[in-house]
Amino acid sequence: MRIEPAAFKKTKDELTELIALFESGNRVISTGITLGDINYEVHRYFEEMIVGRKAEEAEGEGIALIKVPVKSAATNTDSGQSIYMLATYKLPTLSSKIIPMMKEYCAEYTV
């Protein structure tokens, strides 16, 4: 399995809305994540990770949104900036498999 860039475009406002999901766990769990015309129910919220799923009987699809802090190259400390990554994935892939892959991918760009 590998991570491949998606060919969908988001407006600045849509990206701002996705980033704002990290501001309130209660809000994101109650509203979910909307991507295009699909709403994903959120079942896990952490300070730097949000995970949800769109489920149907025959098949399902997961969604994960992560926030990875960027370190300053000079001091190797938190720069105050973050990289955000959004992934959707089909079953049988689970968040426990995709999240480490996302973090590894982002790590290449965080120093």
Please give the CATH topology (third level) of the domain spanning 12-107.
Beta-Lactamase (3.30.450)
| % of residues, the chain, pLDDT over 70 | 84
- Is the pLDDT score of 3 beyond 60? no
76 vs 22, residue with greater confidence: 22
**Distance (Å, whole) CA 86 – CA 66:** 7
Domain residues of the chain, as ranges? Answer: 12-107
Statement: residue 4 has pLDDT above 60 = no
Q: What is the DSSP string of 9-43?
A: ---HHHHHHHHHGGG-HHHHHHH-EEETTEEEEEE
Length of the chain: 111
Q: In the chain, count of helices (H) and strands (E)? A: 3, 5
Res 50: pLDDT: 95
Per residue in 53-67, pLDDT (tens digit) is 986 656 788 999 999
Q: Whole-number mean pLDDT of the chain?
A: 83
Query: Any idea which of 8-12, 13-17, 78-82 has the lowest mean pLDDT?
Result: 8-12
Q: Is the pTM of this model over 0.85?
A: no
